[in-house]
Amino acid sequence: MPADVTAPDFSNDLALALSLADAADQISMDRFGARDLVIETKPDLTPVSDADQAVERTIRNLLSVDRPQDAILGEEFGSTEGRRQWILDPIDGTKNYVRGVPVWATLIALKVDDDIAVGVVSAPALGRRWWAMTGGGAFTTSPGAPAARRINCSLVTSINDASFTYSDAVGWDTRGAEAGLAELLRTTWRQRAYGDFWSHMMVAEGVVDIAAEPVLETYDMAALIPIVQEAGGRITSFAGGSALGGGSALTTNALLHDQVALVLRG
């Protein structure tokens, strides 16, 4: 970038995203484990709870006040188009949420033109939150920690020494990657199905080296992208293009990315 061009500052947008996550956490935690939680099945046969809908509705209402000109893409209530678009997954990991498993999170991202400028992943039942903005580094908070800490990916360079995480065995055949999954399960040092957002945040923290999910939507991935990238990692589709529109996500510490991509592509 030329020296006389000032990089965009997304600090105010990040502060807003963090406040939106605070509001979301209050709603989702209040309904987590509730005996009267209402659960329905969407046309794609995935579950949606009244908490998913309440969280997204609340975030949309807050954005209508603070960023009325911005567009929104949400899992539950559709999308509007614009140069600046907020991308929302009110509860990533709804299947966990409705069964009382604490691995779920609200994902909030801001896309400006074709890039994700801000990402927030808030997992209140785990007591964890991760966030990043372009050029500002990636950070996390955890229970008992006095303050946020900056995070970085690992320096592992060999698949044989790498820790690999995924969600489950569903969908790998749609990418022609069943053999790749089997190879990663066989050759990596450790394998665990932490799943969903958590897998990718563990890569960003450097406690896991590879995460992969074969079938994802835009709202599943948008918030993850700046956090992984600002932590020094790479996140792409299985085919190697943008994860945002590629329908799948391969996340690594960057040092392993090309090796793993070759495995997945056979």
Q: What is the dihedral of CA 266, 231, 200, 225, to 10 degrees?
A: -80
CA–CA gap between residue 56 and residue 64 (Å, rounded) = 12
Chosen CATH of 159-264 out of 3.20.20.80, 3.40.190.80, 1.10.10.60, 3.90.480.10: 3.40.190.80
Provide CATH 3.40.190.80 ranges for the chain: 159-264
Chain segment 131-181, per-residue pLDDT in tens: 999 999 999 998 777 789 999 999 999 999 999 999 998 889 888 899 999
What CATH architecture is 11-139?
2-Layer Sandwich (3.30)
As a whole number, the mean pLDDT across the chain is 92
Of the two residues 105 and 5, the one the predictor is more confident about is 105
Is the pLDDT score of 1 beyond 60? no
Residue 241: pLDDT band with limits 50, 70, 90: very high
Query: Radius of gyration over alpha carbons of the chain, in Å?
Result: 18
What's residue 76's pLDDT?
87
Q: Please tell me the pTM assigned to this model.
A: 0.93
Model pLDDT, residue 183: 95
Q: Which residues contact 123 (CB under 8 A, 6 or more apart)?
A: 102, 103, 104, 105, 129, 197, 198
Per-residue pLDDT at 39: 75
Helices 257-264 and 178-187, axial angle in degrees (round to 10):
130
Domain with CATH 3.30.540.10 in the chain: 11-139
d(CA 19, CA 86): 14
Of 58 and 76, the structure prediction assigns the larger pLDDT to: 58
- At 140, list the tokens: 């996390």
pLDDT of the residue at 11: 95
Encoded tokens for 194: 């932490």
Going by pLDDT thresholds of 50, 70 and 90, the confidence category of residue 2 is low
Which pLDDT tens digit goes with each residue over 200-220?
999 999 999 999 999 999 999
Over 60: is that where the pLDDT of 45 sits? no
246-264 burial, b for 16+ CB within 10 Å, e for fewer? bbbbbbbbbbbbeebbebb
Question: Residue 189's beta-bridge partner residues?
Answer: none
For residue 101, the tally of other CB atoms under 10 A from its CB is 12
Phi/psi for 78 (5° steps) reads 80, -165
Residue 125 pLDDT more than 70? yes
pLDDT for 145: 72
pLDDT in tens, 72-88: 999 888 889 899 999 99
Q: How many CA atoms lie within 13 A of 114 on its CB side?
A: 3
**Average confidence (pLDDT) over 65-75:** 95
DSSP string, 8-63: P--HHHHHHHHHHHHHHHHHHHHHTT-TT--EEE-TTS-EEEHHHHHHHHHHHHHH
pLDDT for 31 equals: 81
